[in-house]
Chain A
Amino acid sequence: MPPRPPHERHVPSSAISSFIEPERVEALLAPWLPDAQDRAFVVRCMLGEGPAHHRGANYVLLTLLGRVLEHLPPLDSVPAPMGEPIEVPMRLPPHLAKASEPKSYPLRLPSQPLEQLAPRGSRPFEAMVDCLTDGPPQHALSNVAMVTLLTEILSRLERGGRT
């Protein structure tokens, strides 16, 4: 099939769902989500819910980060230190949010790479955390999963540079 011009590129959503392999991303995230049910929940939020183009984009980006990891020798301890992990809040409706115990997703945001960009506790740092963890779960959890993989990638690169 000849490539379509960019403005006519839309494909049927079935074409998107057909290339997504959730088990591949589940395997990729296993070191950070050892519980199989937690893993299935987070991966469903990223690849099984929300608009089709987000599901597909999440899959492509996460899988490519996984490919990068495959090319880097693993550290002695996997996963790499994450700093102090930050919870990803579950957004309940306002009338329930105050009354019930705060809920969070099982995957937490590594603080370690963000601390390379801004001091922990600073306003820019807090703003970065807010940007990465806000919005619908298919965004927030994918952001966090990507930062998690980037943390591992950066740690392996740094270790490789030192030896």
Chain B
Amino acid sequence: MTALPEGLEQSFTVAAGELGMACAAWLFVENVAREAGDAGVGALRDALGRPFPVLDAVAAQWLAGARALNTDPSRLLAAVEGSAGLVVVGLEAFFLDVLVARLPPDTRCALLCHSPFDVDWERVLSNYGGRVEPVNLESFQAWAGPRSVLLTFAYGVGGHSANVLPAWVRATGEDVRTQFRALMAWDVLPAPMFVYPRWLVEVDAASFTHLFQA
């Protein structure tokens, strides 16, 4: 059996918090594959797949032949055109990086600083040079308005449901849903979950006004 370094679970937890579960999973899978090939990816999946179902799904995608994330934000950018504010719920750094880089300068962007992991939000936000502003569950509604959009990342859309971070459910109550022009999801894991999707919650896919597949 392929030996993996000690402390992978701890390091993945840090990476998942500050990069997002899907981006951290791709980073780990790519690096393990480089060092130990598919056998290493299989071992990684066995070791961390149950506690981190997104990593499990990404490893399964890799073993099925997938080799790259599709972070193209073009369709999403077209949908947010004309927006004054974009509030992002959840973090997937590779996706957010390309989105923020191409966001029109007159569209303000905020990140809801809420995560199932411990996150150094100051460090995360420093990557965006002030372009992304921090908000929390108490303050994000100040961004509401007829030109404002809420966006989250989805982790697999199957049938009529999608997996999202718990923060999305807490943020999008009945009061909030009618205060933002659009409620969008960007599916960063176009693959079925094989294990129980812990850390995530299932919502009705029809509850989004827009759903984009990576």
Interface residues of A (CB under 8 A from B): 37-38, 40-41, 44-45, 49-50, 90-93, 95-96, 99-100, 103-106, 136-138
Q: How many residues belonging to B are interface residues under a CB distance threshold of 8 Å?
A: 16
User: Knowing A92-B142, A103-B144 touch, does A45 contact B209 (C-beta < 8 A)?
Assistant: no
Q: Among B175, B178, B209, which residue has its beta carbon within 8 angstroms of that of A40?
A: B209
Question: Could you tell me if A92 and B174 are in contact, using CB atoms closer than 8 angstroms?
Answer: no
Which residues of chain B have C-beta atoms less than 8 A from A103's C-beta? 144-146, 179
The SS class assigned to the B binding surface is mixed
Minimum CB–CB distance for B59 against chain A, Å: 38
Question: Could you tell me if A137 and B178 are in contact, using CB atoms closer than 8 angstroms?
Answer: yes
> Which residue of chain B has the shortest Cβ distance to A40 in the bound complex?
B209
B50: Cβ under 8 A from any A Cβ: no
Minimum CB–CB distance for A148 against chain B, Å: 16
Which residues of chain A have C-beta atoms less than 8 A from B145's C-beta? 90, 103
Binary A-proximity of B195-214 (CB < 8 A = 1, otherwise 0): 00000000000000100000
User: With A and B bound together, what is the CA distance between A105 and B149 in angstroms?
Assistant: 14
Question: Could you tell me if B146 and A92 are in contact, using CB atoms closer than 8 angstroms?
Answer: no
Minimum CB–CB distance for B212 against chain A, Å: 16
Question: Could you tell me if A41 and B142 are in contact, using CB atoms closer than 8 angstroms?
Answer: no
B13: Cβ under 8 A from any A Cβ: no
Binary A-proximity of B142-180 (CB < 8 A = 1, otherwise 0): 101110000000000000000000000000001101110
B113: Cβ under 8 A from any A Cβ: no
> Which residue of chain A has the shortest Cβ distance to B179 in the bound complex?
A90
Question: Could you tell me if B138 and A95 are in contact, using CB atoms closer than 8 angstroms?
Answer: yes
User: Knowing A37-B82, A40-B209, A44-B209 touch, does A96 contact B142 (C-beta < 8 A)?
Assistant: yes
Question: Could you tell me if A49 and B182 are in contact, using CB atoms closer than 8 angstroms?
Answer: no
Which residues of chain A have C-beta atoms less than 8 A from B141's C-beta? 92-93, 96
Minimum CB–CB distance for A44 against chain B, Å: 7
> Which residue of chain B has the shortest Cβ distance to A17 in the bound complex?
B206
